[in-house]
Amino acid sequence: MSSIPDSREIGVPETGFQGKRVTVMGLGLLGGGVGVARFLAAQGARVTVTDLKDEAALAESVARLDNLPLTLHLGGHADADFVEADLVVVNPAVPEASPFLAKARAAGVALETEINLFFKLCPAAIVGITGSNGKSTAASLAAHLLGAGPRRPWLGGNIGRSLLEDLAEIRPDDLVVLELSSFQLERLEPTGLSPAVSIVLNVTPNHLDRHRTLEAYARAKQPILLNQRPGDAALLNADSPIVSTWGAVGRGRKLFFSTKEQVERGAWLDGDRALWRDGGAPSPLLKRGDLALRGAHNLANALAAAGAAVLCGVPIEAIGPRLKTFRPLEHRLEPVRTLDGVTYYNDSKATTPEAAIAAVRAFDEPVVLIAGGYDKHLPFKDFGKAVHERARAAVLLGDTAESIRQAVDEAGGVPTRLVADLAAAIQEARAVAKPGDVVLLSPACASYDMFDNFEERGALFKKLVMEL
């Protein structure tokens, strides 16, 4: 078995931000904007934070910037913040076609991202994880499993925590696990950097409102592999029709994982156990019973995370015992309570049809499904089939409610009810559910039609369920 090198051999260079005029474009609510603003202010930069949302909408993030020497321009953008800056740090959610980015480029202002800055400055080896579904769980699993090895793990990225402020504490012999979105990765390629170990879980239609086509979306993910060096490694999902064809992308060594078939190098499922092979004879990696998470999709996440841990030097015999201590993340098939014989699950993170399909199929019990939300222009045909096959009933809400109902009806149908909000959905689901059933919030859609993010949606679901 092989392992990745101790570091990327770059150390933490002088940042050179002292006195520089830096505009942070997009404060947001997910942590990246706050993290980079705090980091730049600490480096002595003259920081201006600008966002289209106003201070009331960004109150939680604004509170984390209290007493820092920076300027807030919220509720809109001003040209001067882009053409008179030395650097603009762009939030991943900002599209390339933004006219303000065009103005910055025309003025010769450099553009950067929070994740690119971290890649350039991080002294430790990076394990990067991407995919349309399962990124947060797989990244958390990987960081958890790395804790069984000799090197200190850090977890950050798209999971909601910038690690820029931790750079002073991150040592070259540590390991950093980053969850990486397509929005973050599409701007990484020009840096010439990729993770030392890269995991690609799957690629299915997502964010087509931004990327327009599945091909463009898939291409946006590939920088996780494109700049790998020959000593780096990548774990690819052999069961993904798209990802399984990426063996020649980048110069890193390729291994695969599969829940369906044996692979030449990597991890695969053999009955109730998983095996690992990286040259030579296979070795036991883990057992199904080691994983407390439901669903075949989480078994695939565990194979990927375990493979990454082995590549990073964790003893293979430590994987199973360590895996047993991992618990579901919030908003990801999270059990909330059992009431009147019905168990309620919060899967608000399922913001794509594929994620919700995996959730519905994770249960042997009859499912009363709550779904629907913001329209990202994703197809619901396969989701409709899964609901028809596995659900007792569906309660639908949000912009996509009618589209989902049509997909379910075309697949053969189940009893459906369209409701106005989440509170009404929970009451309707409770009325339909029988003892032994599961009420599952797995929306298959983003939350932006009714909520700021999936966390807010999931938190309200749990609150309302606990009040039943």
Q: What is the DSSP string of 162-177?
A: --GGGTTT--TTSEEE
For the chain, how long is the longest CA-to-CA vector? Answer: 65
User: Can you say whether the dihedral through the CA atoms of 374, 378, 381, 383 is positive or negative?
Assistant: negative
Residues 182 and 102 in one domain: no
pLDDT at residue 95, as a whole number: 87
SS3 395: strand
Last residue of a domain, one of 77, 112, 147: 112
Phi-psi region of 134 (alpha: psi -120 to 50; beta: other; left: phi over 0): left
Which residue range is the domain that position 367 belongs to? 334-466
User: Residues 219-234: pLDDT tens digits?
Assistant: 999 999 999 999 999 9
Report pLDDT for 148.
95
Q: How far apart are CA 299 and CA 241, in angstroms?
A: 18
Domain boundary among 112, 142, 160: 112
Are 123 and 271 in the same domain?
yes
pLDDT at residue 14 greater than cutoff 50: no
Strand partners, 112: 89
Round to whole Å and give the CA distance between 404 and 253. 41
CA distances from 277 to 154, 245, 258, 304 (A): 26, 20, 12, 13
State the pLDDT at residue 93: 87
Lowest mean pLDDT among 38-42, 157-161, 242-246, 419-423: 157-161
Write the pLDDT tens digit of every residue in 101-134: 999 999 999 999 999 999 999 999 999 999 998 8
Is there a single domain that holds both residue 160 and residue 292?
yes
Residues 364 and 243 in one domain: no
CATH number at residue 36: 3.40.50.720
Write down the H helix ranges in 228-318. Answer: 296-311
Cα radius of gyration rounded to whole Å, the chain: 22
- Is 50 exceeded by the pLDDT of residue 442? yes
Q: Which of 323, 342, 362 is a domain's end point?
A: 323
CA 447 to chain centre: 15
Q: Residue 375 falls within a domain, yes or no?
A: yes
pLDDT at 121: 96
Neighbouring CB atoms inside 10 A of 340's CB total 10
**Beta strand 70-74 pairing with 253-258:** unpaired
Residue 74 lies in a domain: yes
Q: Are residues 181 and 311 located together in one domain of the fold?
A: yes
Identity at 154, one-letter amino acid code: W
What percent of the chain shows pLDDT beyond 70?
Answer: 96
Domains: count for the chain: 3
Query: Above 90 in pLDDT, residue 441?
Result: yes
If asked whether residues 149 and 280 sit together in one domain, one would say: yes
261 and 338 part of one domain: no
The confidence band for 11, taking pLDDT boundaries of 50, 70 and 90, is very low
Same domain, 315 and 371: no
Give 152-203 pLDDT, tens digit per residue.
999 999 987 899 999 999 999 999 999 999 999 999 999 999 999 999 999 9
Within this chain, do residues 375 and 461 fall inside the same structural domain, yes or no? yes
Does 429 map to a domain? yes
Specify whether 137 is located in the same domain as 218: yes
Give the pLDDT score at 267: 98
- 253 and 192 belong to one structural domain: yes
Enter the tokens of residue 58: 């960004």
CATH code of the domain covering residue 148: 3.40.1190.10
Calculate mean pLDDT across residues 369-375: 97
* pLDDT bracket for residue 205 (50, 70, 90): confident
Whether the pLDDT of residue 402 is over 50: the answer is yes
Q: Are residues 199 and 302 in the same domain?
A: yes
**For the residues 369-397, what does the mean pLDDT come to?**
96
Residue 96's closest CA among 17, 186, 30, 179?
Answer: 186
Task: Quote the pTM value.
Answer: 0.80
- The two tokens of residue 418 are 């369209």
The average confidence (pLDDT) of the chain is 93
CATH number of domain containing 431: 3.90.190.20
